[in-house]
Amino acid sequence: MVKILAGEKGEGKTKKMIDMANAASKEAKGSIVFVDDDNSHMYDLHYSVRFVETPKFIMENPQVFRGFVCGILSQNSDIETIYIDGLNHIMDKISDADFVSFIQELDKTSKEAEMDMVMIISRKTDALPAEVQQYLI
């Protein structure tokens, strides 16, 4: 299932997600993956959390990013949760309707793979489309 941490920049979303990933890594029977757009938080994560930095990959649209996630899943069939920070680089370039479709596609992918995805979006929760409100945590 997809879960979204939303809020304005500087509200501590990344720290909260790092804490979630570290806590999950202690109890996980499978793998925990943390995807970020830079490596500034790499050393804040428990050594068992697989860190993936995205700048070396061109992610200009939601379909490319979904393919990237599917590539991660194809490399490891026991992933329990993927934590995704820095998603705004993609979301700032698309409409709300495309954003809703993107989240719904990722939710379908996560259910098919029987794993969770937790994503950060730097936007006020009341500014998100109504269709994605159900994914907020």
pLDDT, mean of residues 17-39: 93
Instruction: Report the alpha-carbon distance of residue 16 to residue 32 in Å, rounded.
Output: 15
- Contacts of 20 by beta carbon, 8 Å cutoff, 6+ apart: 83, 118
pTM of the model: 0.91
pLDDT score recorded for residue 90 = 64
pLDDT of residue 30 exceeding 80: yes
Per-residue model confidence as pLDDT tens digits over 46-56: 999 999 988 77
Per-residue model confidence as pLDDT tens digits over 65-121: 888 899 999 988 899 999 999 777 666 678 889 889 999 999 999 999 999 999 999
